Amino acid sequence: MLSLWSSFDTSLLDDFRRLERQFDRHFARAASSAGIRAVQRGTFPPVNVGVTPEQVDVYLFAAGVDPKSLDLSIEQNLLVVAGNRGITVDDEADYYRRERFDGDFRRAIPLPEDVDPDRVNALYRDGVVRITVQRREVARPRQITVN
């Protein structure tokens, strides 16, 4: 039986498959060394964002970060978090696994359009930064009484 691929030079496809396997081995090793619960580089600190009719709460999980070194700002409904987390590393040790991120970080977290950037509070406790941004009064739902 004649195949569609019988006249096609498959050596090129073999080269692509070999290259794909090499990429998979290289990147799979880097991803697996971080561990299943680790976040990808560029997503530190991990965040939770919750909303109520009155406010938006952003929780930054920033263990090991000096709260005084954090740079928090809000511009055009975008909360920007920047800082540095330094981790003491023994230069003499040969690490075969390092799961904690260290170095500079920067995250931009979009917020709802009705937040009031002038009414913000940030509190650091036990490695968690809670940023509370109040919503504007005009944006809050109001109950209407029918007479």
Residue-wise pLDDT tens digits, 39-93? 455 578 889 999 999 999 999 998 888 889 899 999 888 999 999 887 777 788 8
Q: Is 52 a domain residue?
A: yes
- DSSP type of residue 96: S
CATH number at residue 97: 2.60.40.790
Cβ neighbors of 83 (< 8 A, separation 6 or more) are 62, 65, 69, 70, 71, 104, 105
pLDDT the model gives residue 33: 47
Q: Is 38 a domain residue?
A: no
Considering 4-18, 24-38, 90-104, the range whose residues carry the highest mean pLDDT is: 90-104
Residue type, 21: R
From 96, 102, 104, select the one nearest 38 (Cα to Cα): 102
Q: Is 94 a domain residue?
A: yes
Percentage of the chain exceeding pLDDT 70: 78
Please say whether the beta carbons of 132 and 115 come within 8 A.
no
Higher-confidence residue: 129 or 21? 129
Residue type, 46: P
Tell me how far apart the alpha carbons of residues 70 and 36 are, in angstroms, rounded to a whole number. 27
- With the C-alpha atoms ordered 74, 133, 39, 125, is the resulting torsion angle positive or negative? positive
Domain enclosing residue 53, as ranges: 47-139
Q: Is 24 a domain residue?
A: no
Q: Is 65 a domain residue?
A: yes
Q: Is 79 a domain residue?
A: yes
Please say whether the beta carbons of 106 and 127 come within 8 A.
no
Q: Is 60 a domain residue?
A: yes
pLDDT the model gives residue 20: 79
Above 80 in pLDDT, residue 110? yes
Q: Is 108 a domain residue?
A: yes
pTM higher than the cut 0.95? no
Q: How many domains does the chain have?
A: 1
Mean pLDDT of the chain, nearest integer: 80
Q: Looking at 62-140, which runs of residues are DSSP E strands?
A: 71-75, 78-85, 103-110, 115-125, 128-135
